[in-house]
Structure 1
Amino acid sequence: MPIVNRVSDLHAEITEWRRDFHAHPELLYDLPRTSAIVAEKLKAFGCDEVVPGIGRTGVVGVIRGAKRNGSPGKVIGMRADMDALPIEEANDLPYKSTTSGKMHACGHDGHTAMLLGAARHLAETRNFAGTAVVIFQPAEEGGAGARAMIEDGLFERFGIDEVYGMHNWPGQPVGRFATRIGPIMAAQDTLHIDIEGVGGHAARPHLAIDTILVGSQIVNQIQSIVSRNVDPLKNAVVSICMFQAGNTDNVIPQTAKLLGTARSLAPEVRDLLEKRLTHMIPAIAEAYGAKARFEYRRGYPVLVNHAREAEFAAAVAADVIGADNVDPNIPPFMGAEDFSYMLQKRPGAFVFVGNGDSAGLHNPSYNFNDDVIPFGTSYWVRLVETALPG
């Protein structure tokens, strides 16, 4: 379903912005080029305020509607993330990453470009009452940039009443939207395990305490927490993703290190995972005569969409592309998103927009699909004009 409006006229220009961001990826809070370009464009569009440095390298633009009649009215926030990932790009594109070991493998280049396109349109037309606030956030990929912006006074300083976010979704048709009421993305916690045994000769294992054996038992046994402690009607994932031990083929290593993640969609499940892992891991090691030091580090909280705002977001998406192309009750995804911090502070909703048949997120062959741009940009414009009618 093609989009034919002022936004579609901007498609080629927004695509140029997106591809420029793609060619020059920056990580976490270290976004000097990206932040500067965003601020420069917002000023050129005629935003009423452009404020850099929120949450270290975040940028905020304020656009006041022409239908306010002297009243500040309601304030709607829209957030896009700007940071890339420490991945070596595998694509052979004219605009592929020019920085070794860094690439936009999650589509934040597209998110930033689409919100910039919406800011331009809204600043030109101002066909709404109240105020639109565009939020360009650093450090979504593990740096909790949303929390940093909140701690820097984002919501109070700009008087934001509601806040909305969007992420592209590979595997879904281009422009198809999806959301849900309640938990939509998981809490993300990190497991750190250090095991100490007794090193020795591989031919005399009875004189050693094998940390590889102990670590293997830990990996196996902690899966029983999900299968036998968590309510089967609730969601949880425990994955060990790094196991480091030893340096050669004939030495039983004295130490081993394991790293992993725990994901959950409910506070009580999160508490249960932490409690059971904290109890089980040292106990398993002790059963083999080893010691295990375990640390459970809480990360991003569950991303919970507010009911009214999720229904509103789905209705706006349906207005953009038709109700048949909107899923208002998508199953939750066990990935994590620091937009969750924003939804803890203000009502709002997070939506997904289809990226077509692309490689998956965080894949070295991923590329944001520029055909998505008119849909995502139109969604932002329609959201403001619908939420803030004159």
Structure 2
Amino acid sequence: MAYVSAGFLGSNTPEIQIRRDLHRYPETAFQEYRTASRIAETLDALGYAVRVGAQVMRAASVVNPPLADDAQAAVAGARRNGGVGRWMDQMQGGLTAVVAEKRFGPGPVLAFRFDMDALTLQETQAENHLPRNEGFASQDPQRMHGCGHDGHVAIGLTLAQSLANLSGLSGTLRLIFQPAEEGGRGAVPIIDAGVLDDVDFLFVAHLGCFLGSGRLAANASGFLHSTKLRVGFHGTASHAAMAPQLGCNALLAGAAAALNLHAISRVAGEETFVNVGKMTAGTTFNIIADQSELLLEVRAETANGHRYMLDRAEAVIAGAAQIHGVTHQMEIVAQLNGNENHADALAIVDRAARSLPDLEVLESWPIGGGDDASKMIARVHQRGGIGAYFIIGSDITAAHHAQSFDFDEASLATGRQVFEAIAVQVLGKA
């Protein structure tokens, strides 16, 4: 079902209606079948040329796709909850990106990117949580939109409607709806499919980031370099009382690594981070664990700081394995570099934002993390275009990625209006 035919785009608050529908049905990396298929159906109904699946993602570039059983369950769940089969059938294998295009005439190619994946996170049931009280809390106990991507999609779809028949434009508008931003794995398959190769202008935005409602930062700064690692320790199982000396404890190796990773000395003069987000190990009470796995990431402001953190992490992991007599392996799941916004693109954002009444425009605001849209921006720059990432202010109830996260839905209309103003600047006839 398209949001057009469902009546959402004809309501008084279309951004909010769409956001709340998406919030009920969160989907994580490369499993965004319901979300993506309804996006595609909506854009098709609005008259855009829509491409999905292998047309816009290189399958060989997908890192760590969902297991077959998980993918099958995701597809089945999407069908039950209103996914559109004719689009989902083209997205098999986690190729869930959607690219929609409308050509208004000769002129530049303007692209906007909107991420659409949710998080593996259980949403709070606290009495003061708006999604719970208004009946649009996550229907999945293991997933939630805890970062605002449901709002980004809502902005993108209502923007698509407002621009579809706008007079006075010339050039090509390209809307990119990206999977798997969380974890930094969704941009590269889109880049490798050539979607950015002819783009002259690329703009990306994020809601919140501790910038309050009624404000906008033209330059999202402070993008961090990061590496996400999966580490496995492999030991020897044995009876914990009868023959503990014959065992090699992978659980203790993992625990030693986790504690000492968090003890890595920081780099003077810059922000550096490390976090072990998940650890699994062992089988039962009286068996020395022969397997352990850690999921962790390191981040830093600079490339040199990032290299230092990564080298120290690798040394800690190797040392923990040696101490406990186990073997180990490390797999890089995703890596992000910093981001450089183009000065000319920032000027476009600044002018667009200042054209809106009652919107306070800041020169810069730290994003507080990273986004693999930075790779898209870098690709556009490499090909001779310009790009920028900005922040749409929105009051939030808790930090991004928290169980009680929510944002001020009034900021959705502001975001749409800024994107509209950018489009008019770039594609407007002189």
Fold agreement, TM-score > 0.5: yes
Identical counterparts, % of pairs: 27
Which amino acid counterpart does residue 31 of structure 2 have in structure 1? D
The more displaced of 200-209 and 133-142 is 200-209
Q: Give the number of equivalent residue pairs.
A: 369
* Pairing partner for 1:372 from 411, 415, 422: 411
- CA shift, 1:179, in A, is 4.8
Query: Given residue 277 of structure 1, which amino acid in structure 2 is its aligned partner?
Result: A
Show the counterpart of 2:138. 97
Q: Give, in angstroms, the shift of residue 375 of structure 1.
A: 0.6
* Contact 2:396–2:407, Cα closer than 8 Å, also in 1: no
Compute the displacement of 1:256 (Å).
Answer: 4.3
Q: Residues 11-67 of structure 1: CA distance to partner in whole angstroms, max 9, x if unpaired?
A: 5123222222222323322333322322222233333x22233222222222334xx
Q: Counterparts in 2 of 1:1-390, with a 5 A limit?
A: 12-47=13-48, 49-53=49-53, 54-55=56-57, 56-65=95-104, 68=105, 72-90=106-124, 91-92=131-132, 93-142=134-183, 144-156=185-197, 159-169=198-208, 171-180=210-219, 183-194=222-233, 196=235, 201=240, 214-223=253-262, 225-227=264-266, 230=267, 232-245=268-281, 253=289, 256-286=292-322, 288=323, 290-297=325-332, 299-308=334-343, 309-320=345-356, 325-331=360-366, 333=368, 335-346=369-380, 347-390=386-429
**What amino acid maps onto 2:44 in structure 1?**
K
Deviation at 1:221, TM superposition (A): 3.9
Q: Is contact 1:27-1:139 (8 Å) kept?
A: yes
- Separation (CA, whole Å) in 2 of partners of 1:112 and 1:306: 22
Distance 1:322 1:103 in 2: 32
Q: CA deviation at 1:358?
A: 1.9
- Taking the aligned partners of 2:20 and 2:234, their CA distance within structure 1 comes to 46
RMSD: 3.2
Alignment CA distance shift 1:315-1:9 (3 Å): farther
The 2-side partners of 1:336 and 1:181 are apart by: 10
CA distance in 2 between counterparts of 1:154 and 1:171 reads 31
Task: Evaluate the alpha carbon distance shift between residue 319 and residue 341 of structure 1 in structure 2; reply closer, same or farther with a 3 A threshold.
Answer: same
Report the CA distance shift for 1:244/1:203 in structure 2 as closer, same or farther (over 3 A): farther
d(CA) in 1 for partners of 2:141 and 2:34? 16
Displacement of 1:245 after TM fit?
Answer: 4.6
Contact 1:303/1:343, CA 8 A, preserved across alignment = no
Taking structure 1 as reference, are residues 86 and 282 closer, same or farther at Cα in structure 2, changes over 3 Å only? closer
Residue 104 of structure 1 and its aligned partner are, at CA, apart by 2.0
The verdict on how the C-alpha distance between 1:233 and 1:202 changes in structure 2, with shifts beyond 3 A counting, is: farther
- The alignment partner of 2:332 has SS state of strand
Cα distance 1:10–1:310, how it changes in 2: closer, same or farther (>3 A)?
farther
1:285·1:292 contact (CA, 8 Å) conserved in 2?
yes
- In structure 2, the gaps of 5 or more residues are 1-8, 58-94, 125-130, 381-385
Which region of structure 1 is more displaced relative to structure 2, 364-373 or 196-205? 196-205
Post-superposition offset of 1:293: 1.6
Deviation of 1:295 after TM superposition, in Å, equals 1.2
* Aligned residues of 1:105 and 1:364 also touching (Cα < 8 A): yes
Q: 1:246 to 1:155 in 2, by over 3 A?
A: closer
Q: CA deviation at 1:368?
A: 4.0
Cα contact 1:278–1:294 (8 A) shared by 2: no
Paired position in structure 2 for 1:3 = none
CA change 1:199–1:270 in 2 (3 A) is farther
Secondary structure at the counterpart of residue 305 of structure 1: coil
1:87-128: CA deviations, max 9, x gaps? Answer: 333342322233443322222111111111111111121433
- The alpha-carbon distance between structure 1 residues 12 and 64, as it changes in their structure 2 partners (threshold 3 A), is same
1:123-178 per-position Cα deviation (integer Å, ceiling 9, x unaligned): 1214333222111122222362221222222123xx31121111111543224222
Could you report, residue by residue, the CA deviation over 1:342-367 in whole angstroms, capped at 9, with x for unpaired residues?
12201311122222142332223323
Given the two structures, how large is their TM-score scaled by the length of structure 2?
0.74
Unaligned ranges ≥5, structure 1? 1-7
- Contact 1:29-1:57 at 8 Å conserved across structures: yes
SS at 2:223 equivalent: strand
User: Partners in 2 of 1:233 and 1:131 — Cα distance?
Assistant: 44
SS at match of 2:410: helix
Task: Give me the whole-angstrom Cα distance separating, in 2, the residues matched to 1:140 and 1:123.
Answer: 26
With structure 1 as the length reference, what TM-score do the two structures score?
0.81
In structure 1, what residue type is equivalent to 2:365?
I
Is the CA contact 1:198–1:209 (under 8 Å) kept in the aligned structure 2?
A: yes
Alpha-carbon distance, 1:383 to partner: 0.9
The whole-number CA distance in structure 2 between the counterparts of 1:79 and 1:139 is: 13
